[in-house]
Amino acid sequence: MEAEKKKYKVVYNRSNCIGVLTCSSFYPERWAINKDDAKADLVAGQEDPAQPGIWTLEFTEEELERFKASAEVCPVNVIHIYDLETGEKVV
């Protein structure tokens, strides 16, 4: 089904997160506060073994607006979104 196809990828530089959690207020299902270091955890994301501190998750069109909103409000700009097909940066 087209609607379920993963079309985008979020790339999150967790190392540079300052823990303000604005992202979470825009998309709490995907950004959770970590009790140990107070940074955001990308729910169901995976850490890139080649780049420690960089977390990624592929997602469908359905989640685009909420991911975009959370990326746009991040004060330190550590959340970015890429189009999987074209490789273009969306945010």
Enumerate binding residues for ligand SF4 (CB under 6 A).
17-23, 31, 39-40, 74-76, 78-79
β partners of residue 13: 54
* Residue closer to ligand SF4 (CB basis): 11 or 79: 79
Q: Which residues, including other chains, have CB under 8 Å from residue 30's CB and lie 6 or more apart?
A: 42, 43, 44, 57, 63, 66, 67, 70
* Residue closer to ligand SF4 (CB basis): 23 or 54: 23
Closest separation between CB of residue 6 and ligand SF4, Å?
A: 21
Closest separation between CB of residue 51 and ligand SF4, Å?
A: 16
β partners of residue 33: 40
